[in-house]
């Protein structure tokens, strides 16, 4: 679905191996798994990932923003959050929309960000989700972790696909 980074001029490897995308996608997966399973092991794995990449202090700062974003999203989401397992190179609809929202906010593509937000959260709670996402997106920018832009047509394609079975 997403181009390989070699196709986007950012070196060899997979799009999900890019540090900013990995922080968002794997952070989302691990933190959501902690909520779903009730186990702190998944949260510890998220902390380990963020600390390894960003250092303990900055990792903790970014993870705090991710946690707030996911907690807010869980209360406002149109349906339960779904994920693929850690390290998977597949992405589900909710993961795509999360990546699209954060990338849209970071790259000043408010049309793409708003499209993702409309598909993710109920109308009465979208402002809460947006504010939480802005905090996370801005923190990553401050730490030089900017996602590649995701064009609105790609987001529209994701939204138009039929919903599939639960992943997590």
- pTM of the full predicted structure? 0.84
d(CA 84, CA 67): 18
d(CA 80, CA 74): 7
Helix (H, G, I), strand (E, B) or coil at 21: helix
Q: Where are the domains of the chain?
A: 16-160
Cα atoms in the Cβ-side hemisphere of radius 13 Å centred on 128? 14
The packing angle between helices 19-37 and 93-106, to 10°, is 130
Provide the residue-wise pLDDT of the chain in tens; the chain has 168 residues.
333 333 334 444 576 789 999 999 999 999 998 888 888 999 999 999 999 999 999 999 999 999 999 999 887 655 566 665 566 666 788 889 999 999 999 999 999 999 999 998 888 889 999 999 999 999 999 999 999 999 999 999 988 887 654 443
């Amino acid at each position: 679905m997403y181009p390989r980074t070699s196709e986007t001029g950012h070196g060899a490897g997979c799009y999900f191996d890019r540090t900013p995308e990995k922080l968002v996608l794997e952070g989302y997966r691990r933190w959501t798994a902690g909520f779903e399973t009730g186990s702190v092991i998944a949260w510890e794995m998220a902390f380990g990932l963020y600390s390894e990449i960003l250092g303990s202090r900055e990792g903790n700062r970014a993870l705090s923003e991710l946690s707030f974003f996911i907690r807010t999203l869980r209360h406002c989401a149109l349906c339960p959050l779904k994920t693929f397992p850690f390290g998977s190179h597949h992405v589900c609809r909710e993961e795509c929309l999360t990546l699209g929202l954060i990338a849209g906010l970071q790259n000043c593509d408010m049309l793409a960000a708003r499209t993702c937000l409309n598909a993710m959260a109920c109308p009465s709670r979208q402002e809460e989700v947006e504010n939480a996402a802005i905090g996370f997106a801005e923190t990553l920018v401050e730490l030089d972790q900017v996602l590649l832009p995701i064009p609105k047509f790609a987001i529209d394609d994701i939204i138009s696909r039929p919903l599939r079975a639960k992943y997590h």
